[in-house]
Amino acid sequence: MSRLTESAPWRALVEHHKALQHVHLRELFAADPHRAEALSHTLADTFFDFSKHRITSETLTLLLELARAAQVPRWRDRMFAGEPINVTEGRPVLHVALRNRSDRPIRVDGHDVMPEVRAVLDRMYTFAEEIRSGAGRGATGRAFTDVVNIGIGGSDLGPVMVTEALRPWGKGGIRPHFVSNIDGTHLVETLSSLDPETTLFCVASKTFTTIETLTNAASARAWLTSALGDDAVAAHFVALSTHAERVAAFGIPEAHRFGFWDWVGGRYSLWSAIGLSIVLAIGPDAFDELLQGAYEADEHFRTAPLEDNVPVWMAMIGIWYHDFFGAASHAILPYDQYLHRFAAYFQQGDMESNGKGVDRGGCSVDYPTGPVVWGEPGTNGQHAFFQLLHQGTHLVPCDFIGAIRSHNPLGEHHDILMANFFAQTEALMRGRTADEVRAGLARRGTELSDDAVAHRTFPGNRPTTTILLDQITPRSLGRLIALYEHKIFVQGIVWDINSFDQWGVELGKELATTILSELRGDGGPSLHDASTAALIARYRTRRDPA
């Protein structure tokens, strides 16, 4: 047994769960007319309703005791202080420095990183202004119209999600495109509508070793040079990377490299130079607002007592379901088309961070850690997988995210969208009893057998968080992203895992390299299992028919 599951708060939560697991949310609402108010928070223009969760004030007290026992405040302070809390890589975790808007220095080994952070940001803004204004031009003297970010994982998902979410701020800016997949289709399809003379490439790679990115970048360079000649590379390529030598070897001059630091994790890097495609698309002012929103969330997380700390609530309520109710997954359901990549973004953010099976001391854990995170924008999901949320056998806690004002007011569209948004969380909470089904049928003059009624009943008691923003803006988005980041942080601390490494990703990079040399025909004798060996053999034989 681990220290966590033996701890007094954990054991108290096990007992508390036994008492609460059969209590219905309908009963909790009926018992307390102030429940909705008591279990909600407002942070600037964003409202968080946690009242449709299977919790009471006692649950929260116990969950916060668990957070305290895990020393969440101390670890949080260690992160903000630049201590090397990424224990397996011996690094600090300082994405918060990238959006530190205060005069507070943030030190790594006694050295304040803030001047360098600001210097890179200033260079990004100046460069983006030049390109956006048309002053910075391509090799043939034409202004740039499009930017292609070539990166994968943490060097892709953030810029994709944010540029999609903030499209209203991108009007008239440089059009962003993203190529991540090594499948040549992604690059070929993207370039097919672009003109080499007006296209800028951002090669986004922290390490500048990732085979997908370097292969795509090399093919993009070939596409450019076949049209404009080798000399065009310097004007049409920039690199977003920590590694100066590898960037230079690719042919990108130092003046076109925007650097960052090893204390910025890939999946937390949209706030760094990796965000250049965002700045090119939406402009420096909007990007600055994004940083400001994240900073506000950071300050809230850093200073609010645990009782009022929104990311701490999000985290601990998640732990309540994953570790005590046995919920294996968590759905993120934005009712906003602009947020259509939000769930995919946090699928990486959460699953790469907390998909870990050993604790910080290297011992296997005996409790569930990170959930499977998934989701799609509403209302599409309602016509697809919501059936399982309502009547399936799995308990899936959901986050419903919506905005009060639409950027595209069109007839009644937004009211219909939001009517669905409110209706779903209410239905998931209430369910529909057999008596209610019969009463509804009776009103229509119909009667059905008991088994037919059973199919039409809904258990309810399905938990949701409602996050209601006034509007999606750079600031509210920055705030929301940072809150989710901190939620993931808190969960990792409580689970006693390192949320900041990703050995599973490294494994993928290693294994493919060995097989690639076999596909090229220059690998040594095959050491694969029979299945893999046969698959590789079939691929090679049929790829190169005699």
Active site residues: 352, 383, 509
Supply φ then ψ for residue 382, to 5 degrees: -60, -30
**Which CB, 511 or 534, lies closer to ligand G6Q?**
511
Please say which residue, 9 or 153, places its beta carbon nearer to ligand G6Q: 153
Nearer to ligand G6Q by C-beta: 205 or 382? 205
User: Which residue number, 73 or 251, has a Cβ lying nearer to ligand G6Q?
Assistant: 251
3-state secondary structure of 268: helix
Cα dihedral sign, 482-487-488-494 = positive
Contacts of 407 (CB under 8 A, 6+ apart): 168, 338, 471, 472
Instruction: For the CB of residue 272, give the shortest distance to ligand G6Q in the complex, in Å.
Output: 11
Rule CB under 6 A: is residue 352 a binding residue for ligand G6Q? yes
154 binds ligand G6Q (CB under 6 A): yes
Rounded CA separation 332/97 (Å)? 27
Question: According to the binding rule CB under 6 A, does residue 492 interact with ligand G6Q?
Answer: no
The residue nearest ligand G6Q at its CB is 153
Assess 213 for contact with ligand G6Q (CB under 6 A): yes
Residue keyed to tokens 């047994």? 1
Q: Report, in Å, the least distance between residue 513 CB and ligand G6Q.
A: 14
In three-state secondary structure terms, 346 is: helix
> Residue 426 or residue 510: which is nearer to ligand G6Q going by CB?
510
C-alpha–C-alpha distance, residues 41 and 23, integer Å = 24
Secondary structure in 3-state letters for 274-326 = HHHHHHHHHCHHHHHHHHHHHHHHHHHHHHCCHHHCHHHHHHHHHHHHHHHHC
- Window contacting ligand G6Q (CB under 6 A); options: 8-16, 27-35, 113-121, 199-207: 199-207
**By CB under 6 A, what part of segment 257-316 binds ligand G6Q?**
265-267
Three-class secondary structure assignment of 133-177: HCCCECCCCCECCEEEEECCHHHCHHHHHHHHHCHHHHCCCCEEE
Angle CA 360–328–53, to nearest 5: 105
Q: Which stretch binds ligand G6Q (CB under 6 A): 10-18, 151-159, 403-411, 425-433?
A: 151-159
Number of residues in contact with ligand G6Q, rule: CB under 6 A?
15
Which position among 152, 202, 481, 490 is part of the footprint of ligand G6Q (CB under 6 A)?
152
- Compute the distance between CA of residue 316 and CA of residue 322 in angstroms, rounded to an integer: 10
505 in contact with ligand G6Q (CB under 6 A): yes
Under the criterion CB under 6 A, does residue 210 sit at the interface with ligand G6Q? Answer: yes
- Residue 23 vs 218, nearer CB to ligand G6Q: 218
Which parts of this chain interact with ligand G6Q (CB under 6 A)?
152-155, 205-207, 210, 213, 265-267, 352, 502, 505
